[in-house]
Structure 1
Amino acid sequence: MILLVTILAFVLMRVIPGDPALMILAGVTGDGSFTQEELANLRQELGTDRPIYIQYTNWIWNLLRGDLGMSMFYRTPIIEELGPRIPATFELAFMAIIMSAVLAVPLGAISAVKQNSAIDYAARIITFTGISIPIFVIGLVTIYLLVRWFNWFPPLGYAMLWEDPWVNLQQMFFPALTLAFFELNFTARVTRSAMLEVLREDYIKTARSKGLREGRILMLHALRNASLPIITVAGWSLARLLGGTIIIEKIFLVPGMGTLLIDAITGRDYTLIQSTVIVYALVVLTANLVVDILYSWLDPRIRYA
């Protein structure tokens, strides 16, 4: 999978229009003056004048040795550009996952227990509405409401979690909540469907006939057996959330990998884009591996098989 990601990231960046050497010489406004000789020299320096298969081979060889290379646009080591931004993106994504789970699982469970009630209909309307709204719309509306009603603006400076935890959490709360709202609607729908299926099982009827408390039945029997689809969605949701951080970081001025990726795409910084995509892919694949391992812990039948 990682090999496939490297090939796609490498080939797609060279298929779409744009020349990093031209972007550097022409500048952001595109009115920079240069000669064809200067353009050719810069292409040779960046290595973009070589055949694609040679460029790919050199990049993969350096990547296997732990060398992410140099940024074509910033002309600095990629690790220096990418390293300080990874914690912000991961913090935002994991805060969103936690918020989403805390809000979505109870909402879906209550909706299933109270099926066809007013609570169920209200929860379904909320989740349907949330699924239908694009994440950038949610982010822009959140910013507008915060500015208009609470006079809250995205901070221009950013405090790392280990430097000033309280300030960091204040800065990351609203972006993470916006990202969580984007995801919790789908998770709540999956939770409701899984709970409805489990609540119809015979062992739930047996537990009720034995006189167990309803809360114990729901928590220990129903929710635990319904957790496998929820965890599956959680692993897949991390990919969606990491994709959503790109837009949310730009809207809320969070200096994470998403903001850097957008800037790299604008400047056709091939090497920086490829390295950022690899980091995203590694995190998503690792999360799915963890989900597979959790299956055997939650469902003993998988271990016995």
Structure 2
Amino acid sequence: MSEARNPKSVRLAVAQTLVREDPRDVEALRESGREVRALMREASAQGARIVHFPEGAICFPSKFVMSVHGPDAVGPADWDRCQWPVLQSELGAIAELARELRLWTVIASVHRLTGPNRPHNSLYVISDRGAVVTRYDERLLSKTKVSYMYSPGVSPVTFEVDGVRFGCLLGMEIHYPELFAEYEKLDVDCVLFSTSGTPGNTAAQAQGHAAVNSYWVSLSGPAQHSAAAPSGIVAPNGHWLARCPTDDSPSVAVVNLDDSSEAAADAVTYGRPWRREARSGIYTDHQVIDPRSDDRTAAF
């Protein structure tokens, strides 16, 4: 039995950018900002309503660059080394362009907290009016991140664009299926996952999470790792809809998330509702009391 629903559709762009690792380098921060804005314009020209960027799109601070014991040893991060005014200026320019283009923009950045608290590793959700409407903070951090660099987040985050509901994940959270299952329970249509690394099985895991939960997964990563793991969008049936080039170039891939499409209809209409029904306790009335059922050593 399928659930009654209204068709949903939105045009999504996933990006891959060159990830730079030194937040002390003003020109590198500026260049990242220019690169992000160029890809926003490209996504808009291709009709996207929302664009999704990788972790470290402006900067992914190196654990060695930030370490008080660096550059040869990892230790507590000295966040006074970060060029915060430049970072905030670039994010402000990105938000202004989102308003001009009427383009929802999901962009990763370090989110500064009140000292002495460490910052969050975050995804900002900027609306097509140029306002930050919500922010996702990475929750399941790597050992280095949580030991020396960041404060973990505490909750999932969802938002909607044209009736399509999105959830956000970040960093190494691809490895935690419970986070993807949590978003299924929150009724999202697509999970946006941003990363700065390319573990060998990230792409396969993205496909698995999409297929198991019957929703889209957008995987956004660094351009310099695109030969092994280009950014792309997985359909609810687990198949890739589109992927960025594998030539290390900053780029976008743009697709329609349409739940009436062939790539999504069966998974969304039948697979997802049935799994929810199966988990609701429908088997209880069909269970039987029988000696041969209870005897696990019964002969054939």
TM-score, normalised via structure 2 length:
0.24
More helix by share: 1
More strand by share: 2
